Amino acid sequence: MYVRSVPELYFDRRMTDAEGLMWRLEKDPHLSSTFANVTVLDRPPDFERLQRRMERATAAIPRLRQRVMSAPANLSPPVWVDDPDFDLDLHLRRIALPKPGSLRQLLDLATLIVADPFDRTRPLWQFVVVEGLRGGKAGLIEKLHHTITDGERGVQLSLEFLDFEPDAPEPSPIETAPADPADDAGPATAGDPSSLETARDLIAGSLRLPIGVARQVRELLADPTRLPDASTAAATTLRGILDQLADTEQARSPLWTHRSLRRRLETARAPFQETKVAAKRLGGTLNTAFLTIATDAASRYHRELGEPVETLRASMAISTRTEASGGNAFSLVRLLVPAGDMPVAERFAAIQEAADAAREHSAAAGLDTLATLASTLPTSLVTRLARQQAQTVDFATSNVKGSPIPMYVAGAKLLENYPVGPLAGVAFNLTLLSYLGSLDMCMNIDTAAVTEPARLASALQRSVSDLLAS
């Protein structure tokens, strides 16, 4: 057992259907669920101190010492098992940038690290301390797989290694239990489960969608003409799902038509309080202001390149977290956003209305419901459907709440905090993390789609200025 001095965050041993779906989708590298954070520090952290804190964090959060074990034939979501060969040095590393040590160099390095696939035989996280930034600063690249947690829960996890003062006393060590040797038997098979507990988890997982309902789902998929007259639970579920899957209209941008695995990160910042005041003045929320900024920047980009567009399709991550939620608790909604040349206030009002309607419509078929259906289908079909749905979206957004007060890691102060969201087949993902009176934004860009990423970044910063002045 662990001897704990802090409350333990709850993690289920078995992935949810949504997490299992993210895991399966990575058969297609365009659908990677890896996300990251690029942090700028005022100085290099004390690396030995950080090692001790991360060693303790992996004891306080067992998920960080666990690897994934897939179910036979994907009959159920995978389970998490202890990694008996866990080695902190494989997950916490230190490197240095060559001169001049610019933010651009840090972002380019982060792009390569985030794009590098995880070793699926080990725990799915990696931290890299980057020294040599200009002005005596340093960076920290934190990379995690989405099956561990979402962005909001990731902020909570960071409290295990972050402090509220530079010279905070180190918490007492946590005694870790040895890994369960039964977990080291390799992937479970139908005839040779690695342990009775793992076998029970895998079998229980396969029953999350009752066999009868699963059969009805398959029958209705094979003959959709029966759906209007059907009144089963499977039909009710499918009606909401098929409304989304039937939407295969291509994304609206005439410029962002190609997709690749080439990436570039661009950043922008906005003052938190002033942006919140501007959103209230315009009659909406900070999240609407964020989506308005993203849309306005996309609109500018198209106009500057001589390809104006009236509407674009965006996806927006919405937190569904409650006190009982595990590592991931979010849903995705799609909405058409106005991308024509118009005043900020007019765009803001239209996006507020569209976002409200999208949230209401998505309630009938959220991510968990879609994932439950996907668990009954072959991986090849699921990835094909996911790519098809990704092709209906131009760009993605996500908004994560951070700390309003200064934070420190091993004695170094966090100055800037740029979150890197997964692309999953769209032209760009703009993710926002609030920290210390600032809204720090990072744009993860597919450069085959957005061929002039610096132009888009410049448009984003100008859109921030226009919204604040509205």
Spatial strand order in the sheet of 330-338: 263-271, 438-446, 428-435, 395-400, 311-319, 330-338
Q: From start to end of 225-370, where are the E strands?
A: 263-271, 311-319, 330-338
Q: What are phi and psi of 42, to 5 degrees?
A: -75, -15
Distance CA 40, CA 43 (A): 9
Distance CA 252, CA 394 (A): 7
Residue by residue, pLDDT tens for the chain (470 residues) are: 233 334 455 677 888 777 888 888 888 888 888 999 999 999 999 999 999 999 999 998 889 999 999 877 666 778 999 999 999 999 999 999 999 999 999 999 999 999 999 999 999 999 999 999 999 999 999 999 988 876 566 666 788 889 999 999 988 887 665 555 445 444 443 333 344 454 444 434 443 444 444 455 455 455 555 545 544 544 555 555 555 555 567 799 999 999 999 999 999 999 999 999 999 999 999 999 999 999 999 999 999 999 999 999 999 876 554 555 454 444 678 899 999 999 999 999 999 999 888 877 655 445 555 666 666 566 776 777 777 778 889 999 999 888 899 999 999 999 999 999 999 899 999 999 999 999 999 999 999 999 999 999 999 999 999 999 98
pLDDT value of position 387: 75
CB 255 within 8 A of CB 315: no
pLDDT value of position 388: 78
Q: Which residues pair with 367 in a beta bridge?
A: none
Distance CA 291, CA 297 (A): 10
Distance CA 456, CA 259 (A): 17
Q: Which residues pair with 397 in a beta bridge?
A: 316, 430
pLDDT value of position 191: 37
CB 72 within 8 A of CB 202: yes
CATH 3.30.559.30 fits 263-398+437-469, yes or no: yes
* CA nearest to 191, candidates 296, 73, 270: 73
CB 396 within 8 A of CB 423: yes
Give start-end residues of each CATH 3.30.559.10 domain in the chain. Answer: 17-200
Total residues found in the chain within this entry: 470
The CATH superfamily holding the domain 17-200 is: Chloramphenicol acetyltransferase-like domain (3.30.559.10)
Distance CA 329, CA 321 (A): 5
pLDDT value of position 209: 43
Give start-end residues of each CATH 3.30.559.30 domain in the chain. Answer: 263-398+437-469
* CA nearest to 335, candidates 362, 315, 356, 309: 315
pLDDT value of position 296: 98
In the numeric block, the tokens 């949810």 are attached to 16
Give CA separation, 90 vs 94, 114, 227, 420, in Å. 11, 15, 51, 22
CB 13 within 8 A of CB 79: yes
pTM: 0.82
Alpha helices in 64-195 (DSSP H): 103-115, 151-158
* CA nearest to 441, candidates 409, 398, 404: 398
Alpha helices in 363-400 (DSSP H): 367-374, 379-390
CB 456 within 8 A of CB 450: yes
Cβ count within 10 A of residue 212: 11
Give CA separation, 401 vs 11, 250, 327, 439, in Å. 21, 32, 16, 9
In the numeric block, the tokens 């410049």 are attached to 458
CB 11 within 8 A of CB 63: yes
**Which residues are CB-neighbours of 108 under 8 A, at least 6 positions away?**
264, 265
